[in-house]
Amino acid sequence: MKKAGILIPLFSVYSENSFGVGDFGDLRLVVNWIRDTGNSVCQFLPMNEMGLGFCPYDALSSFALEPLYISLFDLTLPKDKSVKRQIDNLKNNLSHDSVYVNYKIKEEKMRLLWEIFLMSQPIVSTEFDTFKEENKYWLKDFCLYKVLKESHQGKAWYDWQDKFKNRDTEALSSAEVNNIEKINFHMWTQWQLFSQLKNVKDYANKNRVLLKGDLPILVSRDSSDVWAHREFFKLEFASGAPPDMYCAKGQRWGMPTYNWDNIIKDDFRYLREKLKFAENFYDILRVDHVVGLFRIWSIPYNDPLDNQGLHGVFDPADENRWGIHGRTILDFMQKNTKMSLCAEDLGVIPYVCTSTLKEFGIPGNDVQRWVKDWQSRHDFLGPKDYRELSV
């Protein structure tokens, strides 16, 4: 069945009710527009909380949502009118006219959220308790990571004091006790974000609009995922892409590659939890850089940055292993989610990846400018000549 839709970065779809950038409250308007124009799919860039580089593909967490996108108008506000005045003042002082995203909006929202949180004490909510219980795999680690990062002046976890960097049990327990209010604040903030985005999905489904999320293949070296589960990553490598006709030195992205052997030994729980969390918000999931599940370009971490991807190697090194490697991961993903999978397979892709996607019934991506008749006249293809299973 053919479907049509749009791809949006959320910050670009602001309304008269938002604060300089689009937020979760604006997504109902997007759903209405998609419905009224005869479309049926809305795809987002990743919603994960971003670090200082503000890149959604280099996030602080594979789970935590970005507070920049919280809708202040959709919060249950305390009776103190000063908060409402601050919200109104903030909205009046922020413009949508800037060419660039003003990321200071996040700081202002976090300041207001802290005040709302303090005024809302004590928080008695079975929904909040359920959220914490169902997300205990990642939530406490992420919130403690946020608190420790703040106490270390924003430094990356690998530059923290050794006892925190190396997760000394006694030191972490003490930090948790001493910062319980701040930890609860970050948990509460993530609950508010979770509830707002989940409500958007419910609204979209009632309007027969499908939401398509984006699962970045990698996560930032400075992330709560890597800090809490170092055994799942190969920190001696930085990910990237090999040299090609477009980049003579290749590319160096910097995020660590996965230690799939350890993830598999843990019965894929890390991947299982990511899929389970994403299901709350999405009907379809874009699998970023799907070829990286078959083999990924791995650059020695200490190789000079000027070399880009020149000195990398594929992992696994044995090409004969690529097929079973990617097949094992994709098979697990397909069997452990209700979401439909779509694979981003742009670039130079080995046949084993393309054939596996076709066998599993997972659509790949075709871009008109790149999909041509390369064998004869280099002409663009007609619609009937595209892969049947493609986006």
Whether 373 shows a pLDDT value over 80: the answer reads no
Query: Is omega for the bond preceding 243 within 30 degrees of 0, making it cis?
Result: no
By DSSP bridging, strand 251-252 and strand 296-300 are: unpaired
Query: Is omega for the bond preceding 122 within 30 degrees of 0, making it cis?
Result: yes
Closest CA to 56 of 110, 13, 10: 10
Q: What is the mean pLDDT of the chain?
A: 94
Q: Of 105-109, 149-153, 387-391, which range is least confident?
A: 387-391
Whether 372 shows a pLDDT value over 90: the answer reads no
Residues 6+ apart with CB under 8 A from 290: 217, 326, 330, 343, 344, 345, 353, 357, 364
Alpha-carbon 219 to chain mean position: 8
Closest CA to 187 of 133, 250, 112, 242: 133
Whether 8 shows a pLDDT value over 90: the answer reads yes
User: Alpha-carbon distance 235 to 205, whole Å?
Assistant: 40
Q: What confidence tens digit (pLDDT) does each residue in 53-92 have?
A: 899 999 999 999 999 999 999 998 888 788 889 988 888 8
Q: What confidence tens digit (pLDDT) does each residue in 321-349 have?
A: 999 999 999 999 999 999 999 999 998 89
pLDDT band for 307, please (50, 70, 90 cuts). very high
Percent of the chain with pLDDT over 90: 81
User: Alpha-carbon distance 369 to 54, whole Å?
Assistant: 29
Whether 18 shows a pLDDT value over 80: the answer reads yes
Q: What confidence tens digit (pLDDT) does each residue in 117-147 have?
A: 999 989 889 999 999 999 999 999 999 999 9
